[in-house]
Amino acid sequence: MKYILKSLIATLLIFTTFSGRSQSAFQNLDFEAANVSPSGYELYGTFVPIGSALPDWTAYLGGEQITQVGYNSTTLGTATISLIGPTWNSSDVSLYGFGIISGNYSVVLETGAVPTNTALGENASIAQNATVPSTAEWLQFEAYAYGPFSVSFAGNALDPIALSSGVSADGLPYTVYGVNISAWAGQTGILEFATGDEYYDPYLELDDITFSTTAVVPEPSVLALMVMGGLAFGARRWRAKGDEVAKKEPMIQR
């Protein structure tokens, strides 16, 4: 009887542990949990284990999981993921276009050439498998993006919108983006940020990912730009459609 009771308790503990892990909250969303030695700029890269640079995250180049990422480093056109730390300064920002958005650390994802075949390109991404807070309505993050990037949860492509803008202490301009996440509140899945696949070297610098319990509205200036862009796009389509109709109409001889 005692053996059966112990077995039941052990099974319950295992189930509870597994359930707790599968329902864990997202961690290290501001990338401040890094445990790396101070390092200045390194042209060809100081590489560190991802467990030290990006605890709780996994990293991928071209869909292939990697175990090391750069620290305070850039590459000469190859795809890379790098952690930018405290010894990176404003002069590095002006030279290389990267900087710390907030706090002590930010992450840079960069599309580029495949190291073993520079004629091919691959993108970069980071991901984490955890549970969206049950009260969450919006997912927000700060980013400096050159070129296209994507955000997804549980395989569902999300559609970030610009909410506001700012400038970091190092002089780096950045945008605060928001995504309506209410449809997945309380659900467990993989949250992934990725650069585009284009070969012209797009990159994404990322920081301060948060979940908000209230709806977010873009700042008036940002909203005005979005509206103006939409109107311009609509006018362009209307004009193109008019030109197409005019081409189809027969010419009238006078």
Q: Is residue 3 part of a domain?
A: no
In this structure, the answer to whether residues 131 and 164 fall within a common structural domain is: yes
| Judgement on whether residues 213 and 223 belong to the same structural domain of the protein | no
74 and 106: one domain? Answer: yes
**Statement to judge: residues 242 and 156 lie in one domain:** no
Q: How many domains in the chain?
A: 2
Give domain status of residue 4, yes or no: no
Average pLDDT, the chain: 77
pLDDT given at position 126: 98
180 and 199 inside one domain: yes
pLDDT in tens, 50-96: 999 999 999 999 989 999 999 988 777 788 999 998 887 656 666 66
- Could you give phi then psi for residue 47, rounded to 5 degrees? -100, 135
Same domain as 104, residue 75: yes
Q: 139 and 178: one domain?
A: yes
The band of 215, judged by pLDDT with boundaries at 50, 70 and 90, is low
pLDDT of res. 41: 53
Q: Are residues 121 and 163 in the same domain?
A: yes
Do 244 and 211 lie in a common domain?
A: no
Q: What is the pTM of this model?
A: 0.75
One domain for residues 198 and 242 = no
For residue 10, being part of any structural domain is answered with no
Digit-coded pLDDT (tens) for 15-36:
333 333 446 999 999 999 999 9
One domain for residues 131 and 234: no
Note down the domain range covering 225: 219-248
